[in-house]
Every structure is written in structure tokens, then in C-alpha cells.
Amino acid sequence: MTRSEAEPPRRSYAVPDPSERQADADTGSAQVERRGARNAHAELFHGAIGIPFVGGNKVERLLNGVEIFPAMIDAIRAAQDTIEFETYVYWEGVVAVQVANALAEASGRGVQVRVLIDGAGSFKMEAKAREVLESSGVELAVFQPVRPWRLKRMTHRTHRKILVCDSQIGFTGGVGIATEWEGDARSPEEWRETHFRIEGPAVTGLRAAFFHHWLSSADGVDGLFPVTLLERDGVPTVCGEVGDTPVQVVPSEATGRWSRQETLFRAAIRGATKRLWITTAYFVPDDDLIQLLIDASRRGVDVRILLPGPHIDFTIVRLAGEAVYDELMDAGIRIWRYQPTMIHAKILMVDGVTACIGSANMNHRSLMKDDEIALVVLDQALVERLENDFREDLANAIEVEPGHTWDERPWWRKLLSQLSLLFRGEL
């Protein structure tokens, strides 16, 4: 099945599968049950993270570069006052120049544009894109520049993806600025990605997360009190309510242990009662997360994990993940590997009512060594659409199943998988 054959009409919410639709038709109790689950999840994540949900938001899912980049560039071109942009990957390609040109044009018409790139993740940034930014008045800063004599700090990166325009529209998710993300996942050269456009009070949380990094990275702003950067003419720049979706904004920082991102994942897994569907680009969970996933499956939760298949940019990550497949499958957890191209999305769906989205993977780097941004979204319609995407992706994936093919893979591959675990702390 090809994507063009399977894809529902763009910008219309997907319909649940027939069994779910029939269950909803049989009784209105399903709605009451979902409402109860949503309230329980709100209490769970608020209690675990300590950050309240804010209502009044609208969250739109964007699928692949063909939807993501036009939406981002349109928002940049429409901005009249401020733009804040933070990214881990800013490499090369048509889109790298397009984004740089849009930011430069905004600066040229008087918009205050601040761009924060990671020192390691943007090491391959195209010279033309950097020149466009620097020559146009864009304020460009680097988070943790790579300096070999500061080895300890070199492992601390910002993996966040944040774009905020006029304090009103925000974007986050998994996309990087590079050729790999252009297109519609039609070939191995076009990565499969999911990103999100946000309107409403939650955008203020994204902007605050950006400025927390900006104040520690940009020259000449260290003396500014942060609140002055979140005001316009003395008035706080808080977006008004535009929808009815509660969102929890969770900025996570590298701590070496027990980051907010890890707490979020733990809460989601522990709180699941029916299903837990996970898409992640890099899957190298620690022993505690493995046990939580196993416990969830054994208490009857439908746990499914979608991972990259033959197309992945770091083979060692796939090998390290393979080392734990048997343990997970023995507990009833089902694992698929996406075939057409690299799948880079980072989405965790809980019980059909809650989505955990943002920049984090389920690996040691995201949980311990990188700064991440996550949103917990309580929106059944959005989750239904993401679940529909998940089902479609499974149609383009191969399930890993115990048996002849998996058990009799080459001995050297099994050995490499075990050896890769020695580097789990860096993956």
C-alpha cells in the first residue's frame, strides 16, 4: 500500500476503526469514559511534572515536509513584530536557504528575529544560509559552541525545535532544517516526519523555553531580566484563547538523571490503561523504562512501538534497540519497523485521548543529556488523527515477530547488538 493510496483527505480528522466506531454508536458511555480518562491524565501529568495545563489552545498536526515547511514559512512571512527560532539541526538544502531567506526578509521589514542553533547539530550549516542570516540583521546565537577543550559540555546539546511568531503562533515537533526533511516521504531521501502548529496560551510556554536558552547563549543579553523579553510595551505577550484544547508545556533540561522528559515518559506509561502507541526515531530505553513497558503490557495495555527500519541515519542506535526486542516481545509488546524511509517522528499516544509530542526520542540522550521540549495535549480529535497516521505507517512497516526470521538472524548481528549496549549512555 502506498501513502497516496492510503492517505485520508488532508486537514480532515480521521475516522476511528470500525470496532471503535461501533462501540461509540452503541452507547454514549464511551464519551463519558473518555472524558474521565482525559481528566485522570490531566491530574496525572500535572502531579508528575508540576506544570499545570493551560486551556484555550488549537493544535494542528503537520505531516512531512510538504506540509511542515510551507506552514512555518507562511508564519514567518506574516510576522509583524517578533520571531524566535531554535533548532538542533540546521544543515543544507533548498529548505535551509528558503527558511534563511524568510527570516532575513522578516528582519528587513523591521521584525525582531532571534535564531538559536545548536553548536553540534548545526555544525554542517550551509555557508550561504548563515551568510543570509548574519547579513540581514537577524540575531544569531549558538548554544554550546563545539570546543574540544570543553569535553564535558560538548555532550550537552539543545535538541529542541521551537518557532514562535508574534507570540501568537508556535511550532514544535521533530523536524530539522535540511534536505532530508523535504518532500512527502516518497523515497528513502525524504524522511517521514510529524510536526505541530500551536495557537493559544500554550505558545507563551514555548516562547519562555526559547528565552531560557537565549539568555544563556546570546551575546549582549545576559543582563536583561527575562520578563522584559516576554512583554511588548510593558504588556505581557500572552496569546488569547483560540480553541478548547488543554496543553501542558514541558521544557526539559539535561540533568544526568530524572529529567522532566523521563518523568513525562514514565507517567505516560504508568498511566496507560488501554493502549500505548509509540513512534520514535531512536529507541534505546534504559532498564527502568523497559520494565515499565513490560508491566504495562502485562496489565492488559495494548503496547505498540513503531521504529525506523532499513533506513536510519545511526545504525548503532538500531542495533542497540534490537538487543531488547526479545524481552519486550516476550511480554506481548508488538514492534514494527518502517520500510519506505527514515521515520523521525516522536509521538506517544495514551488511551486514545492524550498525545505526548515534541522533540524527544525514547533514548538516553533525550532523557539525560539533551535539552528537549514536549507538549502533553488532551485532544481526542487530534489523537484520533495521530492514531490514523500510526495505522497507515504500520501498513508501510514490517512487524518484528519471534520465529524463524528473527531468531535466526546472523550471529554477528546479535553480537553487534549486545556490543552496542555498551554505548547506550551516549545513544
List of residues 6+ apart from 167 with CB closer than 8 A: 81, 82, 203, 204, 207, 232, 237, 238, 239
CB contact at 8 A, 276 and 302 = yes
pLDDT of residue 313: 84
Q: Which domains occur in the chain, in start order?
A: 12-426 (3.30.870.10)
Residue with cell 555557508: 127
Contacts 24+ apart (CB under 8 A), 388-391: 388/8, 388/14, 388/15, 388/16, 389/14, 389/61, 389/63, 389/194, 390/277, 390/279, 390/304, 390/306, 390/347, 390/349, 391/17
Cell numbers at residue 195, please? 510536526
Q: Which residues contact 7 (CB under 8 A, 6 or more apart)?
A: 392
- Rounded Cα distance between 159 and 33, Å, is 36
Pairing of strands 54-63, 245-252: antiparallel
Give the model's pLDDT for residue 393.
97
Q: What is the pLDDT tens value at each position of the chain, 427 positions in all?
A: 433 334 333 333 233 344 444 444 445 666 667 777 788 898 999 999 999 999 999 999 999 999 999 999 999 999 999 999 999 999 999 999 999 999 999 999 999 999 999 988 888 888 888 899 989 999 999 988 876 656 566 677 889 999 999 999 999 999 999 999 999 999 999 999 999 999 999 999 999 999 989 987 766 555 556 666 677 666 667 778 889 999 999 999 876 677 899 999 999 999 999 999 999 999 999 899 999 999 999 999 999 999 999 999 888 888 888 888 989 999 999 999 999 999 999 999 999 999 999 999 998 888 888 899 999 999 999 999 999 999 999 999 999 987 656 666 676 666 676 666 666 666 5
Per-residue model confidence (pLDDT) at position 407? 63
Q: What is the pLDDT of residue 321?
A: 80
309 alpha carbon, distance to own chain's centre: 19
Taking the C-alpha atoms of residue 185 and residue 177, their distance in angstroms, rounded to an integer, is: 15
Identify how many contiguous H helices and E strands the chain contains and give both numbers: 17, 18
